[in-house]
Structure 1
Amino acid sequence: MDHAERPSRNPLLRHAPLAIILTAAVVGYFTLGDYLSFDTLAKNREALLAFRDSHYWLMAAGFIGLYFVIVAFSLPGAAVASVTGGFLFGLTLGTGFNVLAASLGAMTIFLAARWGLGRTLAARMEASEGTLRNFRHGLLENEVSVLLLMRLVPVVPFFVANLLPALVGVRFANFVWTTVIGIIPGALVYTSIGTGLGEVFDRGERPDLSLLWAPEVIGPILGLCVLAALPMVIKAVRGKKEP
């Protein structure tokens, strides 16, 4: 049997990774919300800090692994994990660990979708006529700008930004680097919240994640969105000028 033919002759195996991810996401949504929370972090913060101080890199590896699982299986608690990164490791390393774990998790979802449903759907969109095919071609022609915008715009769910590109057939290399670059601004915001989390807990409060929408934060992010969209605008203007 030719290696290239195996995916098409084993549809169950091909779709299994994405099916597992979707099943875990549904189960996790209903069962893990109370565990992956700020209340849990507050109750266990002294033990976590003590373990970090005595086994720093083991704690770092465990944190990255847990955050990766949360993202890869779309479990609740990604925001909590991002803030925890700042709480345990500070702004610089915390941001680095957050971006690394989230990026690896995003790549896992992308590859699972690409290997299964994405390959079939992209082929069907290419073979179709009209709106679907034009949508796919338009996205692929501007894929870097679109991928960056999906990461930078705060209203786009992370899972959608991982899944949709795989389903329309964007290049994996572009997906990787735009993911890493695109999530840094948000990671910086959430990690910075975590650096002051100890004082928040001491006051008996919960962290205010609405900081992301503060003008001094959302303004620069929207500016990056404009820069990301600029190549599409220039291309569209040039297209209209051509006879």
Structure 2
Amino acid sequence: MRADRIKRLAPIAVILLVAVVGIVFLRDRLSFETLAANREALIAHRDANYVLSAMVFVVAYIAIVGFSLPGATIATLTGGFLFGIFPGVLFNLAGATIGATIIFLAARFGLGERLAARMEAVEGRIARLKRGIDENQWSVLFLMRLLPAVPFFVANVVPALLNVRTGVFVVTTVVGIIPGALVYTSVGAGLGDVFDRGGAPDLGVIFEPYILGPIIGLCVLAALPILIRTFRKGDVA
């Protein structure tokens, strides 16, 4: 039993260990300054080996997200800088979704199934919360992805702890992160002018009304099924 438990927890333990090492040793390297200092070399490599550069970029993005390393935002900017809004946004979406799925599966394999079973077996608020989320999985997961305030790591782990199906997780992830990916990829696509001016990108642009407004609208649409179910239950009661 002990060996089985160690085997189940090993993937998430490795991710956490690599994440800690990454925070200690890579925080200063995966930065905007590093991207600015190496932009000419990156562009030259892309021009000489476009397909290989795209593959290496996606794999690096997967590693950054999959091991919760610092620099996911810089990676998204880099995707836009090297490959433009399109296909850069596709590369960013692929890297982020696959990396997120790695964390999700590791957490689900190690903790999710048993924790979800315990939550269902316990009566009271926890069980009602679990049932409420199960009834509104699509809406809840979309909201977690759309809301800029929800950390990406949290949005990867929480569904695993609630034993969300892998297919539901993948679909809600790739669709839910499209707005943010488009915004930051477009910012990355304009980094050439920013570098020439010696400035820094405005990463707070996602909170500008003309961008945040549509995202809030999408959040309302995602929450609408939850509200409808709540009102219907109230009418029945």
TM-score, normalised relative to structure 1? 0.95
1:89 corresponds to which of 62, 83, 87 = 83
Give CA deviations for 1:9-55 in whole Å, capped at 9, x if unaligned: 61111110001111111221122110000100000000000000010
State the distance in 1 between where 2:110 and 2:76 align: 29
* 2:194 pairs with 1:200: yes
In the other structure, the counterpart of 2:63 is 69
State the distance in 2 between where 1:233 and 1:211 align: 30
In the other structure, the counterpart of 1:146 is 140
In the other structure, the counterpart of 1:4 is none
* 2:8 pairs with 1:14: yes
State the distance in 1 between where 2:54 and 2:61 align: 11
State the distance in 1 between where 2:2 and 2:189 align: 49
State the distance in 1 between where 2:19 and 2:115 align: 22
Gaps of 5+ in 2: none
SS in 1 for 2:44: helix
Please state how far the C-alpha of 1:8 moved relative to its aligned partner.
8.2
State the distance in 2 between where 1:67 and 1:172 align: 20
Root mean square deviation, CA, Å: 1.1
State the distance in 2 between where 1:168 and 1:115 align: 12
In the other structure, the counterpart of 1:60 is 54
In the other structure, the counterpart of 2:105 is 111
**AA paired with 2:152?**
F
The number of residues matched between the two structures is 237
Structure 1 stretches of 4+ moved >2 Å? none
SS in 2 for 1:10: helix
Give CA deviations for 1:65-84 in whole Å, capped at 9, x if unaligned: 00000000111000000011
State the distance in 2 between where 1:233 and 1:29 align: 40
Please state how far the C-alpha of 1:169 moved relative to its aligned partner.
1.0
* 2:181 pairs with 1:181: no
Gaps of 5+ in 1: 1-6
State the distance in 1 between where 2:128 and 2:232 align: 19
State the distance in 2 between where 1:135 and 1:26 align: 31
**AA paired with 1:218?**
L
Q: Percent identity?
A: 58
Segment of structure 1 superposing worse, 18-27 or 229-238: 18-27
